[in-house]
Each structure stands twice: as structure tokens, then as C-alpha cells.
A and B are shown apart, each in its own frame.
Chain A
Amino acid sequence: MIKFLKHYFVPHSSNDHRARILHPSFLSFFIVVLLSLLIVAPHIKQAYPAVLGVSTNISINELVDYTNQKRSENGLPSLSLSSQLSSAASGKAMDMFTNNYWAHVSPSGTTPWFFIRNAGYNYVYAGENLARGFDNASDIVNAWMASPSHRENILSGNYSEVGFAVQDGSLTGSDTILVVQMFGSQNSTNVAQGGVSDDVQASVVETEITPVPTGVPVASAPESTNAQGVAALTSQPLVDSSLATRNISLFIMMLLIVVLAVELVVIDRKKIERIVSHNLDHIIFLVIIVIAAIIIGGGSVL
């Protein structure tokens, strides 16, 4: 067993003083594994969504609750769920999937206010937060709270109502779960200074998930301002593809980094002369990639 470990993970005379898993044949094997995941996994996901898919559990009830929880922690009144704002949020999400953009203003210049007015909501104040790629409501609200502009929206005293849409689809080349949060207050419910204003505190939060065609509305508020019984986007496949992909990638990267670091120390101590690539070059590059992988995989805020 020790011989086996030495051969594969430590520079030794048996492996020409280069850990076996750092030999080109093994590195090629890792590339094949990663490329297989890149190419084959989407096809399996489409053919067998119950086996391989994205594990998701986002309900609008929870989004409302978490949002109001943050407001109450800051001494602000709760927002009520508005069916009109939820309808506007659905319209915005559909537009983003249809026109393939990830922004507050569409490439053709359509602002969030168009969708709000189009839903029959005559706002005095309005705002929009966007999120993509998260798999639960708590992470979404926490990500918004961690970003000053999103936080400002959630904790604004100008708003009295909120609406949500949760949709999945393909956006800018990635399969994504998109969450649109729209805030507003109308003339009769305005609590702040008053006056008509496009007081837009638009903010966006993102993460990536996986592919499927166009955006289909899977969750939007019911035709009532009551938050009870609103839809949720829930799926529990046998294997969570995004988690599996991330873990396999990180495992390969961490394994290579550790073996390269061990080699660096062992070779230096034993004073072995060999002509190979510089381990420190690889370590620096792989560490940077791991940092990128962790941040990309965990979502980001725009």
C-alpha cells in the first residue's frame, strides 16, 4: 500500500522522481474526465432529469419571509406581496430569457419600469433585484444583503410591496434559475417623501446552474396579495449536477495542488536534479483557478 501511494503521489525512483499522477498520461486522464462532464452531462440531464439535474428549492413564500425578516431586524415594516409586482417580475424574467440578457435594462433599452407599468402598477417608487443560479431562498436574500445596492432596496422605507418571479431556462449560454424581485409603492400606500420618481435601486445577484431551452415561468405570485400558497421551484434529482461538477473539479484541482506541493518539498530536501516543469508555476495557476471555481460556483453579485 505504501509503495502504491509513493508511486502515485510522491517523487520516487519507481516513478522517475515525478509523482505518477503528474505524468502526462494521468493529466490527460483528468482532462478526459472533465471534458466528459462538459460534453456528456448536459445530454444525460436532458434525457434523465430525475437522475441528473439541478437540486433546487426556492419558494416565493420563503423569499417574502426572508426579505421581511431582514426588514424587521432593521426596524422596518413588512412588505406585502403584490400580484401586480409579481406579474411584472414574471414579465421581466420572460423578457430576459427571450432576449438572452442578464441586466436591468434590456439590449433594446426596456427598463424594469416598463414591466411594472405594464402590469398595471402605478408606482411612486420602484426597484428591482435580480438573482441567478442559487438553489435556495435563504442564499439569495443573504447574497442580496451582502451587496450594498441590493441591501438598499430590501431595506428601503420607500417601498410597501414586493413581487417575485422564479423561472428556469437558458440565459447567456448557461442553464439558470432566475429570480426577479420587484419593489414598489403606489400613491395610496406611499410612506416616504412622495412625488413621482423613478427612484430605481436596481441590483443583481448571480450564480450559474445548468441548461434547458427557453425560460418557462415556474413560479409567480397568485392573483392575490396573500403570500399563502404561492408557487415554488423545487427539484430533487438523484444526483445534483452542479454540485457534482463542482466537487469533482475541485477534488482534481486540490489533489494536483497537494501532490505538486509535496513534490516541491521532497525534491528540495532530497536535492534531486531533474528536468521537469516548475511545480510552483502549476501551483500558482491551479490555486487561482480554484479560487475562481469557488467564487463562480457559489454565485456572484453584480
Chain B
Amino acid sequence: MSSIKEHRAYYIFFTLIQILGLVILLTAPNQKIQLTAILLMAFSYFVFAIAHHMMNHDLTAKIVVEYALFASIGLAVVMLLLR
């Protein structure tokens, strides 16, 4: 938990970005915008997390794969429900 406290600002910013994506997703007038919103949410999650690891100098290929897989799961779930 101490590492979370250390990076509190990052997590707050990260959460706000995701909430913004959620608001856009839920208020989008059509499916194209909804799909764009979820793509941007997944992309920002991936980029922010990778950048965070890079700043901490602990980025590895396995970590990149993990983020890519979680982002894909999130994308698949939303696309499944939007279908």
C-alpha cells in the first residue's frame, strides 16, 4: 500500500481520465462515438500505465503484455454489450 500512497497523484489522475471516458461512453448519442470512447479509454489505460512503469524504470515485455491483455478484455466486454 505504501507504493500506492507514493503514487497517489498518478492514480487520482488515472481514475479521473477513466471516469471522463465513462461519461463520454454513457452519454454518446450513437454507437460510433461509444466505440471511440471505449477505444480511447483502453488506449489511455495502456499508455498511462506503461508510461508510469517507464518512469519507475521497471517496464518489461511481460508487463506490456499484461496491460495489453487487460485492455483487450475491457474492450471485448464493452463491444459485446454494445452489439
Q: Interface on A for B, CB 8 Å cutoff? A: 22, 24, 27-28, 30-31, 34-35, 37-38, 42, 102-103, 172-175, 208, 210-211, 245-246, 249, 252-253, 256, 264, 268, 275-278, 280-282, 284-286, 288-289, 291-293, 295-297, 300, 302
Q: Do A31 and B14 touch (CB < 8 A)?
A: no
Interface contact A282-B70, CB-CB below 8 Å: yes
Mostly helix, strand, loop or mixed at chain A's interface?
helix
CB nearest to B74 among chain A residues: A289
Q: Are B82 and A288 in contact (CB under 8 A)?
A: no
Q: List 27 A-B contacts (CB under 8 A).
A: A22-B66, A24-B62, A27-B70, A34-B80, A173-B31, A208-B83, A245-B80, A249-B77, A249-B81, A256-B73, A264-B1, A275-B58, A275-B63, A276-B62, A280-B4, A281-B14, A281-B49, A284-B14, A285-B70, A285-B71, A288-B18, A288-B19, A288-B21, A289-B41, A292-B38, A293-B77, A302-B29
> Please, how many angstroms separate the alpha-carbon atoms of A289 and B60 in the complex?
26
Q: Are A297 and B41 interface neighbours, CB within 8 A?
A: no
Minimum C-beta distance from A211 to chain B (A): 7
Interface centre among A256, A286, A292, A300 (most CB of B within 10 A): A292
Interface of B is mostly: helix
Q: How far is the CB of A56 from chain B (nearest CB, A)?
A: 17
Number of A-B residue pairs with CB-CB distance less than 8 Å in the complex they form: 125
Residues of B contacting A28 in the complex (Cβ-Cβ under 8 angstroms): 69
Smallest CB–CB gap between B81 and chain A, Å?
5
B65 at the interface (CB under 8 A from A): yes
- Rounded to whole angstroms, the CA-CA distance of A296 and B76 in the bound complex is 14
Give chain A residues whose Cβ lies under 8 Å from the Cβ of B30: 102, 172
Contact size range, B: 35 or more
CA distance A242 to B53 in the complex (A): 38
B contact residues vs A (CB 8 Å cutoff): 1-2, 4, 11, 14-15, 18-19, 21-22, 25-26, 29-31, 38, 41-42, 45, 48-49, 52-53, 58, 60, 62-63, 65-67, 69-74, 76-83
Chain B nearest Cβ from A168, distance in angstroms: 15
Do B66 and A277 touch across chains, with their CB atoms under 8 A apart?
A: yes
Query: Which one of A22, A276, A289, A300 contacts B77 once the chains associate, using CB atoms below 8 Å?
Result: A289
Which B residue sits closest to A24, measured CB to CB?
Answer: B65
Report yes or no: A292 in contact with B25, Cβ–Cβ below 8 A.
yes
Contact (A211, B49) CB under 8 Å given A173-B31, A277-B66, A280-B4? no
